[in-house]
Amino acid sequence: MGEYKNGSKHGYGILSWPSGRNYEGEFRNDKMEGHGTYSWPDRRLYVGEFKSGEMSGYGKMTWSSGRSYQGEFKHNMRNGQGAMKWPDQRDYVGTWRADKMQGNGTFNWPVGGGELKKFTGYMENDKMWAGTATFYNSE
């Protein structure tokens, strides 16, 4: 359902698939393009920019588990600057490449007893690679 131009989806529209996926937002030349909302049957939700039918640009992805990512996307993956938060109080703010923590950033995680551990430095393929780790009390 939506607007058409020269036989193609163009303008605002809604698209639903039999699998339960849904898109609501802008189309250009039959592709998701511009701002939109995409949802999956497993309750993942993306709100943000699309380019050539893919999540590309700035957006926010949330998962039913409570995890969320806000930042840049490219080719349907986290790519560029962004922040991920997990429901167990872990968080990462920094650079992403091909859906992985890759580059400079800061990663915080609880270690028990009200203490948190913080790593600041370079991440390589979702792993702490080179930098400084410190403990501090969150209270």
User: CA separation (Å) from 83 to 32, 66, 73, 93, 108?
Assistant: 24, 14, 12, 4, 11
Does residue 35 carry a pLDDT above 80?
yes
Domain 1-87 has CATH 3.40.50.720: no
Contact 37, 45 (CB under 8 A): yes
| Domain boundary assignment for the chain | 1-87, 91-139
Separation of alpha carbons 2 and 33, rounded Å = 14
Segment 42-101, tens digit of pLDDT:
999 999 999 999 999 999 999 999 999 999 999 999 999 999 999 999 999 999 999 999
Does residue 104 carry a pLDDT above 90?
yes
